[in-house]
Amino acid sequence: DQQVKQNSPSLSVQEGRISILNCDYTNSMFDYFLWYKKYPAEGPTFLISISSIKDKNEDGRFTVFLNKSAKHLSLHIVPSQPGDSAVYFCAASSFGNEKLTFGTGTRLTIIP
């Protein structure tokens, strides 16, 4: 039972354009959402998070949007840079729970 879904295994974006990565979830108990970035041979690195009481959180070039009614979140990267090429994981947790539930990841390739 995949509670966090990333339906696009890969995405290619021209350098300087906007990258939009999508994530859907099924568990209504999830109230905190995170994005991680992973380079080959490294562990995932925390990027940005959002609480369910918000619908947007911004940090520099990265913005996460949350649509609770649709159980959908997205990560926007603008402008996209070559160093953004990596696998991006969406993750979710519920209040008081230390466990993260991850999606299967989206491989983002930025084309110079």
Partner 1 sequence: DTGVSQNPRHKITKRGQNVTFRCDPISEHNRLYWYRQTLGQGPEFLTYFQNEAQLEKSRLLSDRFSAERPKGSFSTLEIQRTEQGDSAMYLCASSLVAGTNYGYTFGSGTRLTVV
Q: Does 25 bind partner 1 (CB under 8 A)?
A: no
63 in contact with partner 1 (CB under 8 A): no
Q: Find the binder of partner 1 among 13, 21, 24, 44 (CB under 8 A).
A: 44
Please identify, using beta-carbon distances, which residue of 13 and 23 lies nearer to partner 1. Answer: 23
Pattern 76-95, partner 1, x by CB under 8 A: -------------x-x-x-x
- Residue 73 interacting with partner 1 (CB under 8 A): no
DSSP string for residues in 13-82: EETTS-EEEEEEE--TTEEEEEEEEE-TTS--EEEEEEETT-SEEEETTEEEEEETTTTEEEEEESS--G
Which strand ranges, in their side-by-side order, compose the sheet holding 72-77?
A: 4-5, 19-25, 72-77, 62-67, 56-59
* Nearer CB in complex with partner 1: 14/51: 51
Applying CB under 8 A, which of residues 46, 54, 55, 67 lies at the interface with partner 1? 46
Give the nearer residue to partner 1 in terms of CB position, either 9 or 16.
Answer: 9
